[in-house]
Amino acid sequence: MEGAWILMAETKNPIISCDHVSKTFYSLAGDHLVVDDLSFNVYENEFVVLFGPGQCGKSTILNLIAGLELPTKGKIIVDGEPVVGPSPNRGMVYQTTNLFMWETVMQNVEFGPSVRHVPRKKRREIAQKYIDLVGLTGFEKHYPVKLSGGMQQRVGIARAYANEPKIICMDEPFGHLDAQTRYLMEADVDRITHAEKRTVLFVTNNVEEAIYLADRIILLHNCPTSVHKEYKVDFPRPRDYTAPDFLALREKITDEMDKTL
Amino acid sequence: MDEKLQNTARKRRLQYRLISLCSILVFIGIWYLATAVLQLAPSYSLPSPVKVFQTFITKLTKTAPEGATLGQHFLASLQVAFTGYVLGVVIGVPLGILMAWHKWVDIIVRPVFDFLKPIPPIALIPVMIVLLGITIKAKAVLIFFSTVIPCILNSYSGIKQTKSIHLWVAQTFGASRRQQLFTIAIPSAMPMIFAGLRVAMGSSWMALVAAELLASTKGLGYMISVGRALLRSDLIIVGILCLGLIGIVISFLFDLLEKLFVRGGKER
């Protein structure tokens, strides 16, 4: 089955391709190799989860793909173009609340279009569409301080989508949320990515979240980070956290993860 | 339920106001007791509140003994303060922002700025008198100086404290450096900039009164210094109370402005 998957993958063009990427942070205290010879591909409209334990440089990988950091070795190609800096084609959703606190929900969501000087009426329309999609209708005029953590992350997701990027990177977007909200948000992301087909690269250290959301899980080695193993997940959606298949895969990945530590 | 909550809030606010009013009344009462009733101090050194109030009323229309009514003094002070302050803000805030945003502006301006920063504005009064005489211009320059420093300092650190994650987000949306400055850095620095404006207001008001005490022919500080020369302590106290009242009014105006310009509130 894994062989068949590889064959199928080769017939498609990857939208993200990391080719032997390494990243070292240089400092006076010593050089720190964070990403070591990392190679993987992501295909159009695929939901790929980068899964790995704690401090293993997963965020660095997303920053490299976003173009906020440049690799020390190797190259990253997104949509046929090498990454040399940030681009509106690659949206980011971060772990911490990074909304613009001085802007309303609406202004936050329409930030991307307004940077590109999309006319006011048009960008209101776009923003409204994604505010509705993430379920925040009625909160357009609120300031982020008034919203709960989960709602703030919804605004963050709507903001990334409203810029209509080719790929969306999410860096542990639910890391700070309580378990209950987390389940709700996972279900919503599942719904949103189904409604609005995009290529999503999702980082998490939660194995349930990974299996619930992913088309494919890339299990990463601990520091320095490289690809340890890949799992294709083709259970029907929405998935059931307690289904036997789900639990079996969960156990398999958890066992394998212990080897990466 | 909501209405009930609002009612309790309103009641509580009324309660607070009543208490504040009481504490002021008690203060005046003690003052009255100490001066008019017990006569602990001779009336030329500490007049009773009644006397002070009478002087206040007469000073509204009479120009004796120093040649101007209270209103004229007030306007004279305000005019100088306003000119110097506005100039200081208009130059200081953008300069602070530019210093924080463009490295080369920082490199050029910083040596001069670091040299001027620790000088207390009041120390400049003699220099200003020598250079510009006992004129409005001299005082305006002084006020300008005491305004510009806190404005630069606060705008600078406000911009420097912009969260890098906010800038990253803006970059991933394709915002140019210029767009990042105007849509991210400046709005997020607004609370800091406003705090700077407040500090500047305080220090410039202080510098102004000091300058008027030393060298002027009009203004509240001048009135106070004449009061001292003539042993008219009632005049001095009227001057001091006016300064206090103006301080309260100004900080109230700032609260209003801040509500207008600083949006979204503080991050949790």
| CA distance, residue A185 to nearest chain B CA (Å) | 21
Please give the average per-residue pLDDT across A166-189, as a whole number: 88
Search chain A and give the residue with CA nearest B168: A68
* Residue B124 included in any domain: yes
- DSSP per-residue letters across A112-172: HHHHTT--HHHHHHHHHHHHHHTT-TT-TT--GGGS-HHHHHHHHHHHHHHT--SEEEEES
* Residue A226 included in any domain: yes
CB spacing of A98 vs B184 below 8 angstroms = no
Report how many domains make up chain B: 2
Strands A199-204 and A14-25: unpaired
Q: Does B155 lie in the same domain as B62?
A: yes
Please give the average per-residue pLDDT across A179-195, as a whole number: 88
* Residue B98 included in any domain: yes
Tens digits of pLDDT across chain B (268 residues): 567 788 888 888 899 999 999 999 999 999 999 888 888 888 778 888 888 899 899 888 888 777 888 888 888 888 888 889 999 999 999 999 999 999 999 999 889 888 888 888 888 888 888 888 888 888 888 899 999 999 999 999 999 999 988 998 899 888 999 999 999 999 999 999 999 999 998 888 888 888 888 877 888 888 988 888 888 888 899 999 998 888 889 888 888 888 887 877 654 3
Q: Does B184 lie in the same domain as B51?
A: yes
Name which of B168, B170, B174 is nearest A116 (Cβ-Cβ): B174
**Which sign, positive or negative, has the C-alpha torsion B195, B197, B198, B202?**
positive
Name which of B187, B188, B264 is nearest A144 (Cβ-Cβ): B264
CATH number assigned to the domain comprising residue A9:
3.40.50.300
* Residue B64 included in any domain: yes
CB A199 within 8 A of CB A44: yes
Residue that the structure tokens 């009014």 belong to: B249
pLDDT for A1 beyond 60:
no
CATH number assigned to the domain comprising residue B196:
1.10.3720.10
- Partner A contacted by B168 (CB < 8 A): yes
Search chain B and give the residue with CA nearest A110: B173
* Residue B267 included in any domain: no
Name which of B165, B168, B263 is nearest A102 (Cβ-Cβ): B263
* Size of the A and B interface in Cβ pairs below 8 Å: 76
* Residue A189 included in any domain: yes
- Partner B contacted by A88 (CB < 8 A): yes
Question: Tokens for B157?
Answer: 């650190």
Search chain B and give the residue with CA nearest A168: B172
* Residue B118 included in any domain: yes
Q: Does B50 lie in the same domain as B13?
A: no
Q: Does B106 lie in the same domain as B230?
A: yes
Mutate to test the interface with A, among B169, B171, B183, B263 (most CBs of A within 10 A): B169
Residue type, B261: F
Mutate to test the interface with B, among A90, A102, A139 (most CBs of B within 10 A): A102
* Residue A75 included in any domain: yes
* Residue B266 included in any domain: no
Chain A residues with CB inside 8 Å of B168's CB? 66, 68, 86, 92, 94, 98
- DSSP per-residue letters across B172-215: HTT--HHHHIIIIIHHHHHHHHHHHHHHHHHHHHHHHHHHHHHS
Q: Does B69 lie in the same domain as B93?
A: yes
Domain containing residue B244: 46-261
* pLDDT (0 to 100) of residue B267: 47
CB spacing of A101 vs B183 below 8 angstroms = no
Please give the average per-residue pLDDT across A149-157, as a whole number: 90
CB spacing of B168 vs A101 below 8 angstroms = no
Name which of A67, A88, A143 is nearest B264 (Cβ-Cβ): A143
* Residue B249 included in any domain: yes
* Residue A71 included in any domain: yes
**pLDDT per residue as tens digits for the range A13-65:** 888 989 988 888 888 888 888 888 889 999 988 999 998 877 778 888 988 99
Q: What is the Cα–Cα distance from B265 to B268, expressed in whole angstroms? A: 9
Q: Does B61 lie in the same domain as B32?
A: no
Search chain A and give the residue with CA nearest B184: A100
The interface pTM score, or ipTM, of the predicted complex is: 0.78
Q: Does B93 lie in the same domain as B7?
A: no
Q: What is the Cα–Cα distance from A63 to A18, expressed in whole angstroms? A: 13
| CA distance, residue B168 to nearest chain A CA (Å) | 7
* Residue B242 included in any domain: yes
Helix, strand, coil % in chain A, rounded to nearest 5: 40, 25, 35
With a CB-CB cutoff of 8 Å, which residues 48-67 of chain A face chain B?
66-67
| CA distance, residue B263 to nearest chain A CA (Å) | 5
| CA distance, residue A101 to nearest chain B CA (Å) | 6
DSSP state of A205: S
* Residue A102 included in any domain: no
Q: Does B17 lie in the same domain as B56?
A: no
Q: Does B79 lie in the same domain as B18?
A: no
- Partner B contacted by A246 (CB < 8 A): no
Question: Tokens for A55?
Answer: 């401090």
* pLDDT (0 to 100) of residue A196: 84
* Residue A197 included in any domain: yes
Q: What is the Cα–Cα distance from B83 to B193, expressed in whole angstroms? A: 19
* Residue A11 included in any domain: yes
* Residue A227 included in any domain: yes
CB spacing of B174 vs A91 below 8 angstroms = no
Residues 6+ apart with CB under 8 A from A16: A41, A42, A65, A76, A77, A78, A167, A199, A201
Residue environment code for B139-177, b if the CB has 16+ CB neighbours within 10 A, otherwise e: bbbbbbbbbbbbbbbbbbbbbeebbeebbbbbbbbbbee
Q: What is the Cα–Cα distance from A11 to A9, expressed in whole angstroms? A: 5
Q: Does B57 lie in the same domain as B139?
A: yes
Chain B residues with CB inside 8 Å of A101's CB? 188, 264-267
Domain containing residue A54: 2-89+165-260
Report how many domains make up chain A: 1
Q: Does B72 lie in the same domain as B32?
A: no
Higher pLDDT: A159 or A6? It is A159
Q: Does B26 lie in the same domain as B9?
A: yes
